[in-house]
Amino acid sequence: MDTNTATAIHQLRIDGERLWASLMELARIGATPKGGVCRLTLTDLDKQGRDLVTGWAREAGMTVRIDKIGNVFMRRPGRDNSLPPIVTGSHIDTQPTGGKFDGNYGVLAGIEVVRTLNDHGIETEAPIEVAFWTNEEGSRFVPVMMGSGVFAKAFTLDHAYAATDTEGKTVRGELERIGYLGTEEPGAHPIGAYFETHIEQGPVLEDNDKTIGVVTGVLGIRWYDCTVIGMEAHAGPTPMALRKDALQVASRLMQEVVACAHRHPPHGRGTVGMVQVHPNSRNVIPGQVKFSIDLRNASDELCDAMDADIRTVAARLSGETGLSIRIDQVSGYPAQRFHAECVDAVARAAEKLGYSNMRAVSGAGHDAVYMARLAPTGMIFIPCKDGISHNEIEDAKPEHIKAGCNVLLHAMLERAGVAG
């Protein structure tokens, strides 16, 4: 690359107003009265969104391919099309009370990267692709992150096809109905590297007044059901010293779930989100309490340590009170570190462009988790107002939307190479 080309690449920036306008146009499909978006996967509205985005891709000179789970790959050729493509993407399905940016930003940022390269006549060595993955949200069909999960062989195509919604409609049937049942085998599509740009969905960047989050990985997750068994008794005649109150013991363990997270900083998370009390009567001492435990941390080793920690506390409480405490793990996802070279590419781009930045971890799952099993992967976070997402009031600043896309552009160019 000669000096003039290098200078031109260094000065390259996306069109922030164009990207914002595209986001707002897509947000009109399924717009809600409160300013959010309800565009559930594989509905007629999802078809409209898919048609709009693939239409933009074709207008930008990209070819479109669809696999059997409905994942869409929009390709801009490179000088050497034998090279695996450098891919970016996310999802365009939303929660029932979703926002304008979750997922959608990552897809349209990729389209904007291609538009910018077209505007400036820049040819990359490797092809560039923009993908959107089917049913990331999991609000209509489970499992979540379905399209990328099938692509990465985390579960089978038949398993995904058989999933039904509340009306008994299947994934396969709905893919066929909306015209997005492709022919390409999931996972047969090569990927040289994968980047995903996303709102943080948390308050850390905003709290630290940083524009870019250089995401190093995604927290591991362990979900449990905990059951504390005591004995129901009349609230009046039963003296305090003679009670076997399951709720009082359960509440102590619930507090320990939070304390466990504090004992495993800086990325430990501990949450009790669901509680069932039996018999749930005003004047009966609770005889059984079942509650959820959600533990998260940045490595599987730390998740194991938190698991051992909370089980030790539960055994101690059971010994002290004589009540039975059972903890059953019901689900879990391993922690996923992102590729050092992709993480560094994001960091270098942020520094080169002069954006304030910090290393960050994702507490939520993303399609990038499954892509990291197949190819070098990195993520770029931008702040969202008050850390709110999965909510109609989800919001992000136009300048942050632009900054994240500029970082994506330069990180992808570093991996794809510039022909010349």
In tens, the pLDDT along 111-136 reads 999 999 999 999 999 999 999 999 99
For residue 355 the two structure tokens come to 């954006």
Q: How many helices (H) and strands (E) does the chain have?
A: 13, 16
Chain-centroid distance of CA 111 in Å reads 19
Average pLDDT over residues 301-312: 98
Higher pLDDT, 45 or 5: 45
Q: How far is CA 10 from CA 88, 136, 353, in A?
A: 20, 34, 8
For residue 165 the two structure tokens come to 């919604």
Predicted confidence at residue 1, as pLDDT, reads: 65
State yes or no: pLDDT of 302 exceeds 80: yes
Predicted confidence at residue 205, as pLDDT, reads: 98
Contact 216, 380 (CB under 8 A): no
- Residues in a beta bridge with 226: 291, 327
Predicted confidence at residue 142, as pLDDT, reads: 92
In tens, the pLDDT along 243-275 reads 999 999 999 999 999 999 999 999 999 999 999
Q: List the CATH code of the domain at 220-333.
A: 3.30.70.360
Predicted confidence at residue 332, as pLDDT, reads: 87
Average pLDDT over residues 93-122: 98
Predicted confidence at residue 5, as pLDDT, reads: 75
Average pLDDT over residues 298-305: 97
State yes or no: pLDDT of 141 exceeds 70: yes
Contacts of 361 (CB under 8 A, 6+ apart): 215, 216, 217, 218, 219, 267, 298
Pairing of strands 86-90, 128-132: parallel
Contact 185, 370 (CB under 8 A): no
State yes or no: pLDDT of 3 exceeds 80: no
For the entire predicted model, the pTM comes to 0.92
Average pLDDT over residues 52-74: 98
Contacts of 110 (CB under 8 A, 6+ apart): 74, 88, 89, 130, 131, 197, 408
Pairing of strands 193-199, 128-132: unpaired
Predicted confidence at residue 113, as pLDDT, reads: 98
- Residues in a beta bridge with 132: 72, 90
Q: Which helix (H) or strand (E) holds 271?
A: strand 269-271
Predicted confidence at residue 8, as pLDDT, reads: 85
Superfamily in which the 3-218+335-416 domain is placed by CATH? Zn peptidases (3.40.630.10)
Q: What are the sequence ranges of the domains in the chain?
A: 3-218+335-416, 220-333
Average pLDDT over residues 322-329: 98
Chain-centroid distance of CA 291 in Å reads 25
Pairing of strands 269-271, 284-285: unpaired
Higher pLDDT, 4 or 125: 125
Predicted confidence at residue 331, as pLDDT, reads: 87
- Please give the share of the chain, as a percent, with pLDDT higher than 70: 100
In tens, the pLDDT along 391-410 reads 999 999 999 999 999 999 99
For residue 83 the two structure tokens come to 């090279």
Average pLDDT over residues 326-337: 93
Find, among 352, 409, 358, the residue nearest to 19 by Cα: 409
State yes or no: pLDDT of 359 exceeds 80: yes
The region, left, alpha or beta by phi > 0 then psi within -120 to 50, assigned to residue 280 is left
At 6, is the pLDDT very low, low, confident or very high (cuts 50, 70, 90)?
Answer: confident
**What's at 24, amino acid-wise?**
M
Contacts of 277 (CB under 8 A, 6+ apart): 246, 247, 286, 288, 289
Average pLDDT over residues 375-390: 97
Indicate the average pLDDT of the chain.
Answer: 97
